[in-house]
Structure 1
Amino acid sequence: MSRLLLATTNAKKLIELQRVLDGLVGSGRMELASLAEFPDYPEVPETGLTFGENALIKAREGCRRTGLPTVADDSGLAVDALNGMPGVFSARWSGRHGDDRANLELVLAQLADVPDEQLGAAFVCAAALVLPSGREHLVDGRQPGRLIRTPRGTNGFGYDPIFVGEGQDRTNAELDPAEKDAVSHRGKALRTLGKVIVKELANLPG
């Protein structure tokens, strides 16, 4: 059975990645590994200027350090009125990495004078697969929508409570996991990458 590393230390993101990939690949086809299995694994600086660059940086490092085929993603919120920001800085927009509440509140504060009809935004994800052979794959996923000013819902993480996807009347944080996976940027990217993973891992020794 092949092993695949999910190169993230974000517990909520790991659950989401595992849920999508398990459904695509099946537990009998491969074993999912996380960075928790590698206690000395260093934090990898996200120095890229795009989501794709950051996803590849993390996937390459995971593969190099563990010898396992590695999946990594980078994702964030692109707000039209903020010229596509916070973008790759989404997780540390407030200056403190991973402080979801502070990041969300800062974005809302920056949009205080923007009319409601101009609160267009999108969640964007780039997901990468890097293999020990050196082969690399990079795919993108996008969920267009709009922002609201009052957070709603307790599911999800990050900016989910203030994001309503196109065609939806609930925020991403009000969707159950299956509903969110079906429409989210990460779900779209990983379903595309999952097809590549199945093909690539079928050619690797178990």
Structure 2
Amino acid sequence: MTRVLLASRNAGKLREMRRILAEHGVAGVEIVGLDEVPPFPEAPETGATFEENALAKARDAVRASGLPAIADDSGLAIDALNGMPGVLSARWSGRHGDDRANLDLVLGQMGDVPDERRGATFVCAVALVRPDGRELTVRGEWPGRIVREPRGENGFGYDPIFVPEGEERTSAELPSAEKDEMSHRGRALRALLPHLRELAD
């Protein structure tokens, strides 16, 4: 069994990764989280792109653990805000991880933007770094639009104001399994599967 470190303390991300591996019949890989390895200092996310941030997190995790490591960075790119909040999504309001403040700030900034110009895309970059120094990144995108009022209780971050293309429900109104199937992270993780199968062999 090959142990692979998912450089995250987010229990939801761990469950999602394990679920996707099981659904696609990837055997021989055990995904462990940061809470299952000795603690190490994690560098701040200072990259200009999602890929740079994901690679930096995965490199730190490999150096500290000696295990192949996966890390992701994701966020929301809004057309009317020139692609922002982008890599700053988690700290858009100035406080890291304050979902409500971030969401309220985006809604305020978009108050005058007409419905036809409210396009947005959730983006996720996932990096896989191996102990031998081989690295790769994959990217998943989930296009949609921003609504004027938050709706739904599922998910986190900007999910309550994001309606995926072809949908009337927000991301926060979708059941978890449906969201996994469509989401930017689900798409990126599925693109990683052939490389994880290779690790298992």
**SS at structure 1 position matched to 2:142:** strand
- The answer (yes or no) to whether the contact 1:155–1:176 under 8 Å persists in 2 is yes
Aligned length in residues: 201
1:39: Cα distance to partner? 5.1
Point out where structure 1 has 5 or more consecutive residues left out of the alignment: none
Distance in 2 (CA, whole Å) between partners of 1:54 and 1:111 is 27
CA distance in 2, matches of 1:9, 1:194: 21
**Partners of 2:14 and 2:31 within 8 A in 1:** no
1:110 alignment counterpart: 109
Give the CA deviation at 1:25.
5.1
Which residue matches 2:65?
A: 66
Question: Residue 43 of structure 1 aligns with which residue?
Answer: 42
Once residues 109 and 190 of structure 1 are traced to their aligned partners in structure 2, the CA distance between those partners, rounded to angstroms, is 32
Cross-structure match for 1:24: 24
1:177 corresponds to: 176
Runs (4+) of structure 1 exceeding 4 A deviation are: none
CA distance, structure 1, for counterparts of residue 185 and residue 141 of structure 2: 8
Deviation at 1:76, TM superposition (A): 0.2
Q: 1:38 and 1:141 mapped to 2: Cα distance?
A: 28
Structure 1 residues 193, 167: CA separation in 2 closer, same or farther (over 3 Å shift)? Answer: same
Query: 2:78, 2:85 within 8 Å by CA — same for their partners in 1?
Result: yes
Q: Which amino acid aligns with 2:66?
A: G
Q: CA RMSD in A?
A: 1.4
After the TM superposition, which residues 98-177 of structure 1 pair with which residues of structure 2 at under 5 Å, given as runs? 98-177=97-176
SS at match of 1:182: helix
SS in 1 for 2:149: coil
CA deviation vs aligned residue, 1:86-105 (integer Å, no higher than 9, x gap): 00000010111111111111
Give the partner amino acid of 1:23. Answer: E
Q: Deviations over 1:12-46 (max 9, x none)?
A: 333333332343354x4221110012353223211
Q: Aligned partners of 1:41 and 1:161: how far apart in 2?
A: 34
Q: Mind listing any 5+ residue stretches in structure 2 that lack a counterpart?
A: none
Query: SS at the partner of 2:126?
Result: strand
Comparing 71-80 with 167-176, which one deviates more in the overlay? Answer: 167-176
Q: Secondary structure at the match of 2:167?
A: coil
Which amino acid is 1:117 matched to? Answer: E
TM-score scaled by structure 2? 0.95
